[in-house]
Amino acid sequence: MEERYLVIIEYAKGSDKGVDGFRADTKVIQKAIQHHAQCEGEIVFYTHKKRELLKDYILKQGEGKSLIVVSRINPGNLKRVDEYFYFLKQLSDAGAEVQTHPDVMINLNFKDILYKLKDSPFCDNTTEFYPNFEAFETHFPHRLIKEKKYVLKVNYGSTGEGVYLVELKEDGSIVSTEAVNNVKYYYHTMEEFLGTFEENFDDDIDESELHYFQGKSGFVGCRYLPRISEGEIRVLIINDQPMSVVHKKPKEGEFSATLFSGAHYQYDTPNDPKWKEVVKLTLNAFDAIKPYLQGKNFPLLWTMDYIMDYDEAGNDRYILSEINCSCVGITTQPQLAQEVGKVFQR
């Protein structure tokens, strides 16, 4: 049996670090993987400048062995995410088992997955995608006039940045609330709003220089779900096993359920009767998600986040609001590290 070797990739900066400078959950994950894969391993730091050298170093460390690479970088910390994903892809092409594979992160972590899956039973079938400002300017005003409240999500973003709740007032003015910190912006008219919003579509990027992010800009338009006031339901998944359900409740009267905005979190096991429905829905969703894995594994550690709604009969219904799979943490649930390790059991 071929010997294995584990390399965990981190980024030196960011607010997600423990006292030792690593992500607070990296070492328990490292220990668990090394235990279950019965191998040695190390943690390395990625920088854009040293990416070529680092790639050679990692491949050298794994020479003659079967190499496991686990990415533990929150892409929000990187300026050139596209280059980082390409770096991971090169490791994969060189034979490493990269978890989570960048193809999978691109497909699932970007918000346009909500548009791609819109006709699935766990999604909202009115979801729109505006790849450029022209499409936005053409379609968004109609939707806002019809809905009065509408949610815009930048295709690539996290922790509430670039997610806006847009509200059309009786007098035609517009209030936009950004989820990152519930900061509000005011506009007298639709024209003023559109004029300001245009800069969010960065058309000046030279797409030919991108490996991965071509055609990936734009915004997803989602129906506002008022039951966000009851919180967001996060199913935490390890590979293809739901492991816990986290109920995240926004601060009273607020829109954002991100931890930084002061939301309250409660953790339950997936067999809690309260969450039977949503766990079943998640397991059933895997079939719809599979084509987007492009033959790769499910993400190593990921979440499907839902907001409650009502169906036509007035029963509870869960609507997918996002998938996170680029760097989900388990700092508050370190016991799950063993389950992460087991994914690498032969």
Ligand X SMILES: Nc1ncnc2c1ncn2[C@@H]1O[C@H](COP(=O)(O)OP(=O)(O)O)[C@@H](O)[C@H]1O
Query: Is 257:249 a contact under the CB 8 Å cutoff?
Result: yes
- Shortest gap between Cβ of 317 and ligand X (angstroms)? 13
Query: Is 324:303 a contact under the CB 8 Å cutoff?
Result: yes
Q: Does residue 163 touch ligand X according to CB under 6 A?
A: yes
Taking the C-alpha atoms of residue 247 and residue 231, their distance in angstroms, rounded to an integer, is: 7
* Binding flags for ligand X, 253-272, as an x/- string (CB under 6 A): --xxxx--------------
Q: Does residue 81 touch ligand X according to CB under 6 A?
A: no
Q: Does residue 152 touch ligand X according to CB under 6 A?
A: no
Q: Does residue 122 touch ligand X according to CB under 6 A?
A: no
- From the list 21-29, 80-88, 137-145, 153-161, the region that binds ligand X by CB under 6 A is 153-161
48 phi/psi in degrees, rounded to 5: -60, -45
Among 41, 62, 102, 250, binds ligand X (CB under 6 A): 250
Please give the C-alpha separations between residue 296 and each of 92, 93, 301, in angstroms, as whole numbers: 11, 12, 14
Burial class (CB in 10 A: 0-12, 13-18, 19+), 12: exposed
Site for ligand X in 281-320 (CB under 6 A): 305, 307
Site for ligand X in 127-146 (CB under 6 A): none
In the complex with ligand X, the residue whose CB is nearer, 16 or 232, is 232
Cis peptide before 100 (omega within 30 of 0): yes
- From the list 14-22, 99-107, 249-257, 326-334, the region that binds ligand X by CB under 6 A is 249-257
Tally the residues of the chain. 346
Query: Is 91:182 a contact under the CB 8 Å cutoff?
Result: no
| Tokens 């930084």 sit on residue | 260
Question: Would you tell me which residues interact with ligand X (CB under 6 A)?
Answer: 151, 153, 157-160, 163, 179, 222, 224-225, 228, 232, 250, 255-258, 305, 307, 321-322
